[in-house]
């Protein structure tokens, strides 16, 4: 249609230029030229027909803008692509997705796993005192034997106690009743500690010590003890077993207020007669 200038250099006319054209009387005459080689020559005014020579409507698409020279400007459409370009395949590049970092996985313990070995029993919390040694002593039998051999309470009289001066012999007999044999070469009670350790007893001497049934107290000689042992050593010392209530040897001993060996009329009571060394305690 020549009246609207269909050539590619001009494009479609806008509404404003169309109005200007017809206000100047161009609506009755043809005379446009076909610049794109496809329009009709001659004719083509406003009066040529209601459908070909009309203002553009909304169905015709966006109207071109008009420059200051009167020429229409081409409509620019957005041709930008939103898709990212595809990278060419490179055989030297690992195409597999990145692997997640290696994380250690804690495997659950088997259901039938053996139970852990129990910790060795100990004494009172944080005392560091062993609960028992390795002697295997039958404490009940030993306690029964020592209590049955004791004569009276605090009876250290040669006249009234047939076991006078035989504390080590009585203790050795009571331990043997419980299944443990010890032998002290010197025959002196003061040397029983090494024999007890050789038999599996453990030294539990400490400031926190509390006696238990079956424990053995080895008491050094008191100051002034002039008796001699088999090897000619001076002083014999004393030995006793704790029966769960009190210390017992050839006689039942009165307890000290702290429950330790050497109390009452005991000649080895350090409160009445000083000792030549500390008392040692051994646990079966």
What is the per-residue pLDDT across 54-66, written as a single tens digit (0 to 9) for each? 555 555 555 555 5
Q: What is the pLDDT of residues 15-43, one digit of tens each?
A: 566 566 655 554 444 444 444 444 444 44
Residue 165: predicted pLDDT: 87
User: Which of 142, 123, 270, 276 is CA-nearest to residue 211?
Assistant: 123
Report the distance separating Cα 274 and Cα 23, nearest Å.
Answer: 144
Report the distance separating Cα 175 and Cα 138, nearest Å.
Answer: 8
Tokens 């008491």, located at residue: 219
Tokens 């269909």, located at residue: 6
Report the distance separating Cα 260 and Cα 257, nearest Å.
Answer: 8
**In Å, how far from its chain's centre is CA 191?**
49
Tokens 């010590």, located at residue: 209
Handedness of CA 198, 200, 206, 210 (dihedral sign): negative
Which residues in the chain show pLDDT less than 70?
1-127, 257-259, 263-268, 270-271
Report the distance separating Cα 104 and Cα 148, nearest Å.
Answer: 66
3-class SS at 126? Answer: coil
Residue 35: predicted pLDDT: 42
Residue 105: predicted pLDDT: 61
Report the distance separating Cα 281 and Cα 284, nearest Å.
Answer: 10
Residue 182: predicted pLDDT: 97
| CATH code given to domain 129-284 | 3.90.1720.10
Residue 205: predicted pLDDT: 92
Residue 230: predicted pLDDT: 94
Q: Where are the domains of the chain?
A: 2-60, 129-284
């Amino acid at each position: 249609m020549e009246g609207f200038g269909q050539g590619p250099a001009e494009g479609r006319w806008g509404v404003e230029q169309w109005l200007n054209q017809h206000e100047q009387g161009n609506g009755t005459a043809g005379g446009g030229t076909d610049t794109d080689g496809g329009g009709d020559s001659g004719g083509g005014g406003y009066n040529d027909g209601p459908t070909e020579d009309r203002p553009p409507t909304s169905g015709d698409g966006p109207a071109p803008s008009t420059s200051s020279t009167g020429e229409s400007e081409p409509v620019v459409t957005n041709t930008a692509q939103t898709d990212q370009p595809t990278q060419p395949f490179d055989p030297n590049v690992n195409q597999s997705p990145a692997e997640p970092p290696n994380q250690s996985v804690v495997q659950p313990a088997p259901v039938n796993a053996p139970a852990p070995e129990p910790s060795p029993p100990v004494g009172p919390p944080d005392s560091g005192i062993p609960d028992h040694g390795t002697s295997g002593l039958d404490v009940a039998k030993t306690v029964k034997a020592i209590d049955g051999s004791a004569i009276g309470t605090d009876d250290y009289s040669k006249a009234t106690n047939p076991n006078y001066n035989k504390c080590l012999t009585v203790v050795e007999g009571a331990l043997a009743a419980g299944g443990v044999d010890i032998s002290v070469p010197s025959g002196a009670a003061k040397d029983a500690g090494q024999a007890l350790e050789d038999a599996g007893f453990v030294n539990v001497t400490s400031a926190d010590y509390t006696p238990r049934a079956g424990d053995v107290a080895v008491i050094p000689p008191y100051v002034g003890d002039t008796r001699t042992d088999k090897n000619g050593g001076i002083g014999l010392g004393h030995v006793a077993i704790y029966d769960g209530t009190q210390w017992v040897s050839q006689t039942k001993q009165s307890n000290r207020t702290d429950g330790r060996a050497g109390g009452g009329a005991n000649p080895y009571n350090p409160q009445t007669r000083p000792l030549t060394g500390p008392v040692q305690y051994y646990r079966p």
